[in-house]
A and B are shown apart, each in its own frame.
Chain A
Amino acid sequence: MEKRITTPLTAEMTKDLHCGDNVLISGVIYTGRDAAHKRLVELLEQGKDLPVELKDAIIYYVGPAPAQPGQVIGSAGPTTSYRMDAYAPALLDLGLKGMIGKGKRSPEVVASMVKNGAVYFGAIGGCGALLAKCIKKAEIVAYEDLGAEAIRRLEVEDLPVTVIIDSQGNNLYEQGRKDFLAMEK
């Protein structure tokens, strides 16, 4: 079934999002991938403030292509999430409630999601041209020197994602494959 949500994403809202749900996200989300995550967690280790407020926020793991003239942003599909696994639990502990990416997560990340009531969404990998159309505004808010890896504040409208791992730890990668193989029998 399809659900519509608008950020901020609260713990109350994540309870109603279940593995396999198709969700349309609107509102403000932040981009961040490898290099930005490394810097954020280094700041935390030094006891410093982060350049973005992560409580009830969603981070989209994406390094967009540059905008062509007239575009808000270039192609902007998800990158593979496991590379952020080393950093994600520290951000979830700060109140981050949603991550958008693709691919598997570590048991540590899933445990931290369950503890903090967070959700892992999948956007369709390799569909950057399509997904960019849902991004209505984009501005760099930190680490401009990182280029594609800078942290951007995005305003999105009906960004289509699927709940891969919900706040109870149910996993679509396991469930979907099981369901398909059962159907084939």
Chain B
Amino acid sequence: MKEIRAEQITQVIRDLCIEANCHLPKDVQNAITGCRACEPFPIAQSILGKIEENFSIADQDNVPICQDTGLACVFLEIGQDVHIEGNLKEAVNEGVRRGYVEGFLRKSCVKDPIDRVNTGDNTPAVLYCDVVEGDELKITVAPKGFGSENMSQIKMLKPSDGLQGVKDFIVKVVEEAGPNPCPPIVVGVGLGGTFDKAAYLAKKALMRPVDERNADSFYAELEKEMLEKINALGIGPQGFGGKTTALAVNIETLPTHIAGLPCAVNINCHVTRHKSAVL
């Protein structure tokens, strides 16, 4: 049994909020640089160059890559042999509060969806907890911007829609989003489970590095095929035309009901941020 104090969790989440918002993961940086080298359309090349310049400035100056520093999505993988001393949810929210206030990050959370008064400190976090084996606590902070979140969709496909239905839906979502979610995008797909679980899987898929394919070779191939199809649409960086519409398609799956084929597509912008730590 390992003891972890709530205050330790707060401190780690504070730091992860700031780091995730100012330093783009290396895999995403490399993907953007790689795409610029392969991009045949001049205006698209030039925009990818500006995007690289932007994440370099953010990295050097410790400033947010994007002003939309997101809703703070926090994923906890709690080892079953861990004991947390103190209030876990309060510790998480206090970490987000300190990170967003002390880190000069934008507070983008409104308390009520209709009334829309800003909470002033970007809390509460969107918190997901999973219980795993072991005596470690893994914390991931993934600030999620809403330009891309707003372009995400879910569809309860029929089993008879099959693989083709899934492919068509993914392409349709990206095409309808067009320039709005700040392409080049990362496409997270959740297949299976229930209505809610498919959406969760799609979000979780965005945590996987863009250069890592699904461990199952069937889905790894499907990811590659969907990326090719999306990049043949011609939307391009910022929607000004070009080959680089998406950096990656990440698919996660779960068993589902005999009557269903839930398919959720969660879109992320080129500022696909997440940062993890283990206690």
A→B interface (CB under 8 Å) = 35, 62-68, 71, 74-77, 79-80, 82, 102-104, 122, 124-130, 132-133, 146-149, 160, 162, 172-173, 175-181, 183-184
Smallest beta-carbon distance B14→chain A, Å: 16
Other-chain residue from A74, A124, A147 in contact with B118 (beta carbon distance below 8 A)? A147
Q: Is the CB of A80 within 8 A of B180?
A: yes
Other-chain residue from B68, B104, B233 in contact with A79 (beta carbon distance below 8 A)? B68
B→A interface (CB under 8 Å) = 40-41, 43-44, 47, 50-51, 53-55, 57-58, 61, 63-69, 104-108, 116, 118, 120, 147, 150, 178-182, 233-236, 238-243, 269-271
Smallest beta-carbon distance A2→chain B, Å: 11
Which residues of A lie under 8 Å from residue B236 when comparing CB positions? 176-177, 180
Smallest beta-carbon distance B57→chain A, Å: 4
Q: Is the CB of A103 within 8 A of B104?
A: no
Which residues of A lie under 8 Å from residue B68 when comparing CB positions? 63, 77, 79, 128
Q: Is the CB of A127 within 8 A of B107?
A: no
Q: Is the CB of B50 within 8 A of A130?
A: yes
Q: Is the CB of A180 within 8 A of B243?
A: yes
13 extra interchain contacts, Cβ-Cβ under 8 A, other than A148-B67, A173-B178?
Answer: A62-B67, A65-B67, A65-B105, A82-B180, A103-B179, A103-B239, A122-B238, A124-B54, A125-B147, A127-B54, A173-B239, A175-B241, A180-B41
Q: Is the CB of A102 within 8 A of B180?
A: yes
Known pairs A125-B182, A129-B58; A183 contacts B104 (CB<8 A): no
